Amino acid sequence: MIKREMIAILGMVIADDEKKICKLIEYLVNWDEIGIRLLGTAYDGLTALQLINEKKPDILLTDIRMPGMDGLRLIEEAKMQNEILKCIIISGYKDFQYAQQGMRFGVRDYLLKPINQEDLTRTLKKLVKETQEQMSIQSSHMRLEETLKSYTGTFKHLFLKTVLQKQLNEQEENILQEVEKINAADIMKNSARCIAVKPNISYREFTEESYQLLTDKTLEIAEVEFSSHNWIWISEVTGEGIFFLLFYDALDRKELLESINHIKERVLSLQDLFPRLYFNAVVSEQADSSIQLIHRIKESRIAIGNRFLTGLNTVSEIKPPAAKPAESGSVDTRISKLLEDKPDAFDITEIKKCVEAARRIMKAEDISSCLQVKKNLLLVLNYYLKGFKQLDSTLEEHEKEAWFSEMYEHCTSLEQTFRLLEDTLCETLQNVMDHLKNREIKPVIYAKRYIEENKGINIKLEELAKNTGFSYTYFSSLFKKETGKTLSEYIQMVRIDTAKKLLTEKERSVSEVAELAGYNDIKFFTRQFKKTLGVSPNEYRKLFTNR
């Protein structure tokens, strides 16, 4: 059989100040087989940008350190010309900051020197595959067919996706009734195991771009590993982790565990890109029916969620529990009691004390499930969020809860979950207090500006307060709190300042100055001026004139 060559659908530009690296890449890549056409090479950033503008490539493969313009600036400039340009960084610099900045610019991958032919080829093939899928989806007459294919299409995948979308407390029999509509007979022709994998970076370093890259890399590594054994498998990514279903007629358990450990080692070797990188995996027991497989998936979700209790960087098998886990009622009751006894006042110190008390309560119990931990952390979180909401009605409670739940999945230890709770509450309270302060300061700024623009003349205090949205009594106290003066004192100060400026103009009489400063009675003006400055208007004018 004659092997058909893939039609070149993508054009690529290489940018690297080392000519031998450019030549090496040209040599390593089987361009016709992959389906890429090399449009040109450049040995500095400025030449590379000119080449990109001329050749309009689909892919840019660039070094970071180059003369003229570095790789990150080149990517930024090139992306301004072509938003969908696919960029890959190559560099000998093992610096996480470069990778992070590149991810923000939309870099699709990051290859370290010396360049590995297998990694380079796999990365380029992935980009070609993505482009082919995009082109297929854009074809209107093939849209339905291609959508079904790009959905990962098989009944097995739909089965896995459906089960993972269910709540953990949902009855397995109910889930089975739903998935039986997906042609369950085709799903369980073989035995199966569920493997749950959690590559992770601490929530403190988390960005969507970096975690997406880590997930993509993990899936690539798993694909290479599983394919080398000719195993039948499917995968699905959720916030809880990456879930694989492995189907087989016969499987060597020891061989499977070795493969998962090999994946773990390959993922952890990415620490040049992700300095604080962690990996956990759990392998379920065998399932021989659809209901068993639903149960194995559920067990895997719980087990990977319990990674705080099993330790970091482990691969473990899920075993049936020796006894039913203890009920969490005692912990729930003690946490609820803790919150009932809390004072209504909210401050940073009080929050820290409460989180520490909750930590002691949970640590004192024999925690058997991280679901129980998360449930009680959310109980504390929502208690405070409701209180914050009373202070600031614009607070989005549900957004904060959703963010906390997402970051919880990126915690790497039980202790870190408590730090996450404390950080979330303290930061939210600080934001609320800043917002309230701004809301109070802005009306004061408005009032001061209004008084100064009108030189303190013909100011109606009740109307001024009304325009700020507050009652006169409340606004008066707020104004004094921020300025140290009452409204009347501030108006008087502005009028006197106006008079001081006018008195420097020799052609104006004192009576004229008094009138322009808003005083109808010259005697009253003279008394107020002397009371404020210690000298009469005439004496002030003489002092100013003699300077």
- For 521, the token pair is 């009675």
pLDDT of residue 4: 41
Read off the pLDDT band of 279 (50, 70, 90): very high
pLDDT of residue 532: 87
User: What does the pLDDT look like over 4-37, one tens digit per residue?
Assistant: 444 557 899 999 998 998 999 998 998 988 899 9
Residue with the bigger pLDDT between 167 and 367: it is: 167
Residue 448 located in a structural domain: no
Helix or strand or coil: residue 250? coil
Q: What are phi and psi of 459, to 5 degrees?
A: -95, 120
Q: Are 472 and 357 part of one and the same domain?
A: no
Q: Are 252 and 371 part of one and the same domain?
A: no
> What residue type is 310 in one-letter code?
T
Residue 144 pLDDT > 60: no
For residue 414, which of 353, 382, 373 has the smallest C-alpha distance? Answer: 373
**Could you give the percent of the chain with pLDDT greater than 70?**
89
Q: Are 157 and 242 part of one and the same domain?
A: yes
Strand partners, 250: none
For the chain, helix (H) and strand (E) counts, in that order, are: 25, 10
- Measured CA to CA in angstroms, residue 69 lies from 19, 118, 133 at distances of 17, 29, 33
Most confident of 246-250, 257-261, 450-454: 257-261
Read off the pLDDT band of 149 (50, 70, 90): very low
CATH code (residue 93): 3.40.50.2300
Least confident of 209-213, 235-239, 419-423: 209-213
Q: How many domains, the chain?
A: 4
pLDDT of residue 7: 53
pLDDT of residue 138: 61
Residue 271 pLDDT > 90: no
- For 17, the token pair is 């100040």
**In terms of residue numbers, what domain contains 494?**
454-545
User: Which helix (DSSP H) or strand (DSSP E) does residue 384 occupy?
Assistant: helix 370-391
Query: Where does a domain end: 284, 317, 350?
Result: 317
Residue 431 located in a structural domain: no
**Could you give the percent of the chain with pLDDT greater than 90?**
28
User: What would you report as the CA-atom Rg of the chain, rounded to the nearest whole angstrom?
Assistant: 34
Q: Are 256 and 389 part of one and the same domain?
A: no
Q: 3-state secondary structure string, 123-191?
A: HHHHHHHHHHHHHHHHCHHHHHHHHHHHCCCCHHHHHHHHHHCCCCCCCHHHHHHHHHHHCHHHHCCCE
Query: Where does a domain end: 110, 142, 174?
Result: 142
pLDDT of residue 434: 82
pLDDT of residue 238: 93
Residue 387 located in a structural domain: yes
Cis ω for the linkage preceding 114 (within 30 of 0): yes
Q: Are 63 and 129 part of one and the same domain?
A: yes
Read off the pLDDT band of 545 (50, 70, 90): low
Q: Are 363 and 299 part of one and the same domain?
A: no
Residue 88 pLDDT > 70: yes
Q: Are 138 and 157 part of one and the same domain?
A: no
Residue 446 located in a structural domain: no
Most confident of 144-148, 350-354, 366-370, 447-451: 350-354
CB 338 within 8 A of CB 357: yes
User: What does the pLDDT look like over 169-217, one tens digit per residue?
Assistant: 889 888 888 877 766 556 777 889 999 999 998 888 888 888 899 999 9
Residue 99 pLDDT > 70: no
Query: Where does a domain end: 85, 107, 142?
Result: 142
Q: Are 169 and 53 part of one and the same domain?
A: no
CB burial class (10 A; 0-12, 13-18, 19+) of residue 184? middle
Q: Are 56 and 129 part of one and the same domain?
A: yes
Compute CA 351 distance to the chain's CA centroid, rounded to the nearest angstrom.
24
CB 412 within 8 A of CB 202: yes
User: What does the pLDDT look like over 398-419, one tens digit per residue?
Assistant: 999 999 998 998 888 888 899 9
pLDDT of residue 3: 40
Read off the pLDDT band of 54 (50, 70, 90): very high
pLDDT of residue 153: 42
pLDDT of residue 148: 41
Q: Are 163 and 290 part of one and the same domain?
A: yes
Where helices occur in 35-112 by DSSP H, the ranges are 45-55, 71-81, 96-104
Helix or strand or coil: residue 251? coil
Read off the pLDDT band of 147 (50, 70, 90): very low
Residue 20 located in a structural domain: yes
**Average pLDDT of the chain?**
84
Read off the pLDDT band of 136 (50, 70, 90): low
DSSP states along 318-358: ----SSPPPPSHHHHHHHHHHHHTS-S---HHHHHHHHHHH
DSSP states along 401-415: HHHHHHHHTT--SHH
pLDDT of residue 145: 47
Q: Are 119 and 174 part of one and the same domain?
A: no
Least confident of 54-58, 88-92, 519-523: 88-92
Residues 297-306, mean pLDDT to the nearest whole number = 93
Residue 137 pLDDT > 80: no
pLDDT of residue 285: 94
pLDDT of residue 184: 54
Residues 233-241, mean pLDDT to the nearest whole number = 92
- For 525, the token pair is 């003006």
Residue 390 pLDDT > 80: no
CB burial class (10 A; 0-12, 13-18, 19+) of residue 180? middle
Residue 266 pLDDT > 80: yes
pLDDT of residue 327: 54
Residue 505 located in a structural domain: yes
Residues 32-48, mean pLDDT to the nearest whole number = 92
CATH code (residue 231): 3.30.70.270
Residue 444 located in a structural domain: no
pLDDT of residue 324: 53
Residue with the bigger pLDDT between 234 and 109: it is: 234
Q: Are 254 and 313 part of one and the same domain?
A: yes
Read off the pLDDT band of 321 (50, 70, 90): low
Residue 93 located in a structural domain: yes
- The tokens 């607070």 sit on which residue? 395
> What residue type is 175 in one-letter code?
I
Most confident of 46-60, 481-495, 508-522, 526-540: 46-60
